[in-house]
Amino acid sequence: MHSLLRKLLDKRGLKDTHELKPEEKQTYDDWQRILSTGEISVQKIKDFCHNQVMMIQGQWKNLDNDQRKNDRLITMHTVYTTLLNVIESPNKERESLERFLTQLVEEKQKV
């Protein structure tokens, strides 16, 4: 439990979150989640984008989508895949360069 939340419960004379009303408990849980999340990392953004792409692809399976919804899904898919490509491209470029340099080194050793 975050120290600020603990202090708030103490100030209100509550020993435990079980003493909260359901709507108060929901608010408390939301606050706890926000305070415990930590900083946003590139990996978290990558995971989020990947999950969004999977969700969009799942929605494409619905043959009852109207054209407007499909257009919106295409736009969203393009945005999230572009973000993934921007995040992953330096790694792919590095891997490609490492393979190329490894091949050059191995060729030189054979001679």
Confidence band (pLDDT; 50, 70, 90) for 17?
confident
Query: What Å distances lie between residue 28 and 6, 14, 37, 55, 59, CA to CA?
Result: 11, 13, 14, 29, 33
Q: Out of 11-15, 25-29, 35-39, 84-88, which region has the weakest mean confidence (pLDDT)?
A: 35-39
Contacts of 76 (CB under 8 A, 6+ apart): 52, 56
Q: Are 74 and 32 in contact (CB under 8 A)?
A: no
Average pLDDT over residues 54-79: 94
CA distance 81 to 5: 38
Dmax over Cα atoms in the chain, in whole Å? 80
Minimum mean pLDDT range among 21-25, 59-63, 68-72, 77-81: 21-25
* pLDDT for 109: 66
